[in-house]
Structure 1
Amino acid sequence: MSPSLNLPPLNDPRCALIVIDVQNDFIPGGQLAVRGGDEIVPLINRLATHFRNVVIAQDWHPTGHASFASSHPGHAPFDSVQLPYGAQTLWPDHCIQGSHGAQLHADLDLPHAQLIVRKGCNRDIDSYSAFVEADRRTPTGLTGYLKERGIDTVYLVGLALDYCVAWSALDARAAGFSTALIVDACRAIDLDGSLQRALGEMEAAGVKLMNSQALAN
C-alpha cells in the first residue's frame, strides 16, 4: 500500500466517499460482471456510515452507445476501435438507462448519499471517470460540486478498480483533491494486465492505496 498521508478523519466535512458503479450489470449475473463485485457491498455500507458526505456514480448509457460492441458491426466485446476522441474498448451492452442492469445493487444501503452523478449519458462519448468523460474535455460537474461544498479529500470504492474507479481517482488527483482508494472495497476486471497498470498509474499520481482495516471497522 502507499505511504501514509495526512488525511482528515472520515467524518470531517472536508471528506467524501465516492461510490463508483455498484450496479446490477457489474455484479455476477450482469451483462459486464466483475468477479466478486457483490462481495464489496456490505463493506461499502459499513464504510459509508463513517462519512458525512457520500456521492454515488452511476453508469447510465443510452441504447446504441458508442462503447457497445453491438454498435460496431463486425466487432466483439473487448475489441478496440478508434473513435473521434481516441481508442475505445468495446463492451457488451450494459447499464442502459432505466434498465434493471443500470439500477444500483439492491443491498447497497446509502440513505445519506447526497448526490448521484450519472455518466456515459452522451451516446458518442464513453465516461469511465465520475469527473471527466473519455474525450478528456467534458466535465460531469462533480469537481465543481465537491469544491463548492468545501470538500478537498475523497475516498473511492466500487467497480471496476482498473477502469471507472482508477480513472475517477486519477481525475480527482488532477483536480487537486487528496485522494485515497480503498482497495478491498473494489474489484477489478483485470483485462490484459489492466489491474497492475492502473495501480501503478494511481501510485505515480499520488493516490493513496489503502485497505479498510486502516480506516474504520
Structure 2
Amino acid sequence: MARPAQKIRISPGDALIVVDVQNDFLPGGSLAVPDGDAVVPVLNRYLAGFVARELPVYATRDWHPANHCSFKAQGGPWPPHCVAESPGAQFAALLKFSSGTFVISKATQPDKDAYSGFEGTDLDARLRARNIKRLFIGGLATDYCVLNTVRDARRLDYDVYLLSDAIRAVNVKPDDGRKAEAEMQHLGATPLSLSTLDT
C-alpha cells in the first residue's frame, strides 16, 4: 500500500502511542532490537508535535516480575528483560516524554504474557474516556509488540496510523518485520512518516 499522498494533520481525537522503547530493547540491552535506538530521535519529533497541540501521549512498557513466564528459565522464548524497577525496564533516556505522558504497564503478572498494549491494561478505557478515535503508533518491536498493539487497536475499531519511520523489528526470521508491516496494512493501518505528517 502506498503512503498517503496528502498530509495528515493531527487534531483533537488523536493520540500517540509509543510502544516499549525501553533500555533492554536498545543496543546493549538483554533483548536488543537491531537498530532499535534509531527510533528515538524520530519519535521525539512526533512527541513534540503532539505535545505542542496538547494531544495525549501513551507509553507502553513491559513491566515483568523476575519469574515471568516469557523468560527462558520459566520455559518461555526470551532472556530475562524489562524486569519491573530494573534499569533495563526504564524508558530510553533520550526519549523526550512530557510530564503528562500516560504510562501503560503490561505483562505484570508472572503467568501472563502480553505483547499488545491493550492486553490486560486499561488503555482502551483511557482512550475512550478521552474520545480518542485515531491512534498514531510507533516503537519496538515491529514484529511483536507494535504488531499486536495495532491488531488490537483495529479490532477495537480505532483508526490507526503506523509510524513507519519509527519502528524496528527483531527479525527472528529475516522477513518478520516486513511481514508484520504488511499484515498491519492489511488490517487497515495506514503507513505514515514525518514527511506526510502535518503538525
TM-score of the pair, normalised by structure 2: 0.91
Change over 3 Å in CA distance of 1:175–1:8 after alignment to 2? farther
**Residues 140-167 of structure 1: CA deviation (Å, up to 9, x unaligned):** 1111110110110000111001110111
Aligned to 2:60: 57
Matched positions, count: 194
Q: Which runs of 5+ in 1 are unaligned?
A: 73-88, 133-138
Seen in structure 2, the aligned counterparts of structure 1 residues 2 and 127 have a Cα distance that, compared at 3 Å, is farther
Question: Counterpart amino acid of 1:106?
Answer: A
Shift of 1:110: 1.2
Instruction: Give the counterpart letter for 1:207 in structure 2.
Output: A
Alpha carbons of 1:96 and 1:128: their partners in 2 closer, same or farther (altered >3 Å)?
Answer: same
8 Å Cα contact 1:64-1:123 kept in structure 2: yes
Judging by fraction of residues, say which structure has more helix: 2
In structure 2, which of residues 182, 192, 195 is the aligned counterpart of residue 200 of structure 1?
182
Query: Following the alignment from structure 1 to structure 2, what is the Cα–Cα distance between the partners of residues 117 and 22?
Result: 12
1:69 aligned residue: 72
Once the two structures are superposed, the pairs formed by residues 76-91 of structure 1 within 5 Å of their partners are 90-91=77-78
> Displacement, 1:106?
0.7
Q: 1:28 matched to which residue of 2?
A: 27
Percent identity between matched residues is: 38
Contact 2:6 2:196 in 1 (8 A): no
CA deviation string 1:15-34 (max 9, x = no partner): 00100011000000000001
Decide whether the 8 Å contact of 1:185 with 1:212 is kept in 2.
Answer: no
After TM superposition, the structure 1 stretch with the greater mean CA deviation from structure 2, 118-127 or 185-194, is 185-194
Q: CA deviation at 1:216?
A: 4.5
- Counterpart of 2:49 in 1: which secondary structure? coil
Normalised by the length of structure 1, the TM-score is 0.84
Moved more, 204-213 or 163-172: 204-213
**Preserved contact between residue 4 and residue 196 of structure 2 (Cα < 8 Å):** no
Q: Relative to 1, partners in 2 of residues 1:5 and 1:203: Cα closer, same or farther, differing over 3 Å?
A: farther
1:131 aligns with 2:118: yes
